[in-house]
Amino acid sequence: METPSYDELSPLITMALKEDIGSGDITSNAIFEEYHFTHARIYSKGEGVFCGGFLIEYIYHTMDTAVSVTLYRSEGAPVKKDDVIADIEGNVRTLLSGERTVLNFLQRTCGIATRTARMVAIVRDTNIKILDTRKTLPGFRLLDKYAVWCGGGTNHRMGLYDMVLIKDNHIKAAGGILQAVELIKRAYDNRFVIEVEVETLNQVQEAVEAGADIIMLDNMSKDRIALALSIINGKAKVEVSGNMDEHTLKEVCDLPIDYVSIGALTHSVKAFDLSMRLL
């Protein structure tokens, strides 16, 4: 995945700065003179995976293009406690006014990358790929998925526009899996990959007969997954989903599945601990 561009993230950054700074940082503006320049440093306060270094420059340059940023960690690199992440030079008012926004962004991206890397490590000796989902923070879809990629994960569809995923409500409204897949193929021919979410073994059989490219086994036990695999018998790729965490992932990683999707990578993020200090 390519690094998100400034133009792609500018609306989100502008909104974040506006909600925090508002009409001005009344504390910093009172304490520091307008042309007081200083040097700050961002440190890691834990062990994990670094992600989103470009955001420091994106955010500060939205405020003041004269701010200088020197990064010491590359994307996807491991970090440990007390590692120096970046040095920043510029107007002290700018550095302090943007501090919280910078850290908020980085703590999220690094948190996602760190959790993803742990999941990827569990399946390292298998052919399973760890997928993200659309369960992202509104406005942060691109960054959340980039952070998953930084942690070694694989991006699932970006949105509703780039891949077909037939879920339970689609199946109910269409009258069944066969009908839903037929409607999709009639509308788009073979333009899109078609994935079908199933909850029962009967639905697994229907999805196979319908010609689904990927069959998502939702909230199935390990024994049921094994039975579903015997029905699918290589006729479609297999994705396992539903409340997956480190423990449940270890339970199923010896099965011949292709993907495991984990919503918790982005919907239950533990912020990675970082701090910024003036020098």
The domains of the chain are located at: 6-117+270-278, 121-267
> Chain-wide mean pLDDT for the chain?
97
Instruction: Choose the catalytic residue: 41, 45, 135, 185.
Output: 135
Q: What is the dihedral of CA 188, 190, 195, 199, to 10 degrees?
A: 80
Q: For 142-168, what is each residue's pLDDT tens digit?
A: 999 999 999 999 999 999 999 999 999
Q: Which pLDDT band, with edges at 50, 70 and 90, does 96 fall under?
A: very high
One CATH from 3.30.70.3340, 3.40.640.10, 3.20.20.70, 3.20.20.80 for 121-267: 3.20.20.70
Residue type, position 204, single letter = V
User: What is the predicted pLDDT for the residue at 143?
Assistant: 98
At the second CATH level, the architecture of 6-117+270-278 is Alpha-Beta Complex (3.90)
**Residues 192-202: tens digit of each pLDDT:** 999 999 999 99
195 is an active site residue = no
Residues 6+ apart with CB under 8 A from 170: 180
Considering the candidates 100, 134, 235, 270, report the single residue annotated as catalytic. 100
For 35, the 3-state DSSP assignment is coil
Tell me, yes or no, if 197 is annotated catalytic.
yes
- Give yes or no: 167 in active site: yes
Residue of 25, 132, 197, 239 marked active site: 197
Q: Which of these, 64, 183, 222, lies nearest to 194 by C-alpha position?
A: 183
Percent of the chain at pLDDT above 90?
A: 99
Write out pLDDT tens, residues 221-251. Answer: 999 999 999 999 999 999 999 989 999 999 9
Q: What is the rounded distance in angstroms from the CA atom of residue 215 to the CA atom of residue 37?
A: 57
With residue 181 as reference, give the H or E element that holds it: helix 177-188
Candidates 134, 141, 167, 270; catalytic one = 167
135 assigned to active site: yes
Same fold yes or no, 6-117+270-278 and 121-267: no
pLDDT at 34: 87
Contact 88, 277 (CB under 8 A): no
The predicted pLDDT at position 258 comes to: 98
199 given a catalytic annotation: no
